[in-house]
Amino acid sequence: MLNTGQNLRPGSQLFSSVSESNHAKGKYYLGNQQDGNLVIYPAGTIDADSSYWSTGTSNRGLLLTLSLDPNGTLWMFDGNTSFTKTLFLTNQSSGAAPAVENYYCLTLDADGVLRLYSHVFLRLEGKPTIKVAWQVPGDRCLVKGVCGPNSFCQLTMTGETSCSCLPGFEFLSTNQSTLGCWRTLPISGCVRSNNSSNEETRMMATMVEVKNTTWPENPYDALPVTTSIEDCKLLCLSDCACQISMFSDSYCSKQMVPIRYGRISGSNNTLFVKVYTYRAIQRKKIAGAGAMLISGATLVVLSLVVLSGSVFLICRHKRSLRYMRAPQLYDCKVDGDIGLQSYSFQDLDVATNGFTQELGRGAYGTVFKGVLANISKEIAVKRLEKMAEEGEREFHREVRAIARTHHRNLLHLLGFCKESMCHLLGYDYMPNGSLANILFNSDVRPSWSKRVAIALDVARGLHYLHEEIQNPIIHCDIKPENILIDRSGIAKIADFGLAKLLIGNQTNTLTGIRGTRGYLAPEWSKNTAITVKVDVYSYGIMLLEIISCKRSMELKRAGSEYNISEWAYECVMFGETKKVADDACIEEAELVRMLKVGIWCTQNMPVMRPAMKSVVMMMEGSKEVRQPPRPASFSQS
């Protein structure tokens, strides 16, 4: 709350509360940015795509202070110039009745709306009259985050907000509709769209139309402007990755879920949502009454056999229960729909020839090369070490969560083994090794275009982990050693999900530093919660290493360790970018853009770092990269 006579200075923030009765930090904040812009964001974001109101005063070289005068005037001013901007000017006359007193306060309410309240006191009455003198935004559905992922906002007759799920989705919680929605039938990959009448059909995908809604675009593929609305629907239906297609003014784009910040509007946009349904099983009919009689008799006999077998197994099971340890009662069975293989220890021992060919060691364990002889497939087997005390069900649940993450830039988990104290994970084998080997241990420096492609691959993979799955995953150890290169030169992030598997709930980790020296975000050493922004920091350090082909920890100045982001900042400021990367074929504009992205990612404060979605857009050149502030020194000794 900003009271009369108070100022919100540059770099300061005003947070909403959770509710009127709970004054803890809520879902939204008003930030007075160092670029001179006053912006409202959902908590945890700073990228321009997530903001839903601003004063539009950025990039003028001003440091503006927000001030609320006792007379109710809300304005911004720069202490070094004569620049001012009035946001609200009260119409209260100077000759107001002496029996009336006005008191003003500016509040970012729990619903994300910024309101200027006028408290009118009559001196003969103790209770004030409270009015809203000014508010932004005017439409409460313009507040981003009022409804969760895969749902859209609409105003009721009373002016309240109401959230609705997209077709094929249902609320995460029936009691809290603002949390968003998830699919009623979780799907990954392709399903059959049709079959012959005599074959079993498990699922069918159809496109359901949603009109008069507005959504921010986050396409992974844009189709030619000549595409018709019907083609837009069919092209998404035939694409395994496409979950939603958006058509507007002859422009069609393909989207993945989750999709956010939707609202009812009068726009002419048309949304097509892929909806999955089960189909009834159809089988060939058996002709003739004789065949029916035979089938019935067969069923009776089979029933008796099954009943007898069941009684035998139950009796045997009761006798053996007292000899089994409780954890072993949970068998290594995994959902078949995610294609995860349950290996025995003997399977992997044979495949790796007794775990003899070591590929590398990391924070989570040792990796060995193996071959599955039955299918002649090369694999990499990671033997997990220093496991947290997890129950069988918890271990299997986390492994399934890792297996359900499918992305071009994530290392694919093939299967696992959990026997006694042994925890093994089987992955696709990456013949080209790690990014660390390519950057630091090779006689030939990789080309600039190849380095940019790898950096983009990793950024897209992190964007998926942070923002595109139902339960975001914080990697906690992004570094070149954990980026592997496949046969086609595509970069894949390894070891994702293992931090949570080994150390428990990572979203509220306040102690126990995880990661590698040189890539650790400052908040690891502070008493603050760990968020996805620790990965953004580590990525920024790694991006600068990719650009320079130099390790951050190897940079020295005056005999001491030198922060790579500070070095990059000085090179940009003094026009000496060729010191960072001296490749002759590099365009300087592209090099500067990449360096700025790395500097933004390594800002000391998590809130100043961009989301990975913005990182991808800036690196692709579809979003402007503003001049970053100087990164603060941070020692990881």
Task: Choose the catalytic residue: 78, 477, 495, 535.
Answer: 477
Query: At 453, which amino acid appears?
Result: A
Q: And the tokens for 141?
A: 């559905």
Q: And the tokens for 102?
A: 């006005």
| Inter-residue contact 49 to 128 (CB < 8 Å) | no
Q: How far apart are alpha carbons 620 and 601 in whole angstroms?
A: 16
Strands 262-264 and 151-155: parallel
Q: And the tokens for 25?
A: 């930090």
Compute the Cα dihedral for 460, 466, 468, 469 and give only its sign: positive
Query: At 414, which amino acid appears?
Result: L
Instruction: Return the CA Rg of the chain.
Output: 30
Query: DSSP state, 287?
Result: P
Q: And the tokens for 155?
A: 């105003």
For helices 448-467 and 533-548, the axis angle rounded to 10 degrees is: 170
For residue 11, which phi and psi values (nearest 5 degrees)?
85, -5
239 carries an active-site annotation: no
Q: How far apart are alpha carbons 592 and 627 in whole angstroms?
A: 10
CA angle 112, 629, 452 (to 5 degrees): 95
Q: And the tokens for 349?
A: 């021992």
Q: What is the 3-state secondary structure (H, E, C) of 227-241?
A: CCHHHHHHHHHCCCC
Q: How far apart are alpha carbons 266 and 154 in whole angstroms?
A: 12
Sheet holding 213-214, edge to edge: 161-165, 151-155, 262-264, 213-214
| Inter-residue contact 606 to 474 (CB < 8 Å) | no
Q: How far apart are alpha carbons 382 and 369 in whole angstroms?
A: 9
Across 439-473, b (16+ Cβ under 10 Å) vs e yields: beeeeeebebeebbebbbbbbbbbbbbbbbbeeeb
Q: And the tokens for 572?
A: 């940009």
- The structure tokens 């696992």 sit at 416
Number of Cβ atoms within 10 Å of the Cβ of 298: 10
The helix (run of H) or strand (run of E) holding residue 2 is: strand 2-3
Which residue(s) pair with 466 in the sheet?
none
Closest CA to 546 of 515, 501, 498, 586: 586
Strands 100-108 and 2-3: antiparallel
Known catalytic residues are: 477
